[in-house]
Amino acid sequence: MATFSIRKLNDNVYERLRVRAANHGVSMEEEARRIISQAVAVPERISDIFRKHFGQKNGVDLDAINP
């Protein structure tokens, strides 16, 4: 795995990251990894988003809607 350092991080940003990590019960390093991973993740397909929010788990049969 790769590693890197972040220099010249604003003190206010550092403090907000520290608080955010504490709220999530993880280290600052883990919180930063999660933020970076989410920021560069491949976006979900719109169909996957619809299935997640309106699929059978939520009482909607999406296949029945198709013509």
pLDDT, position 44: 78
User: 21 near 30, Cβ under 8 Å?
Assistant: yes
* Stated pTM of the model: 0.64
Reported as a single tens digit per residue, the pLDDT across 4-60 is: 899 999 999 999 999 999 999 999 999 999 999 999 988 778 877 877 777 677 676
Task: Compute how many other C-beta atoms are within 10 angstroms of the C-beta atom of residue 50.
Answer: 14
User: Tokens 């390093």 sit at which residue?
Assistant: 29
pLDDT of residue 50: 76
For 52, 53, 63, 66, the CA distances from 58, given in Å and listed in that order, are: 8, 7, 14, 17
Domain ranges of the chain: 11-65
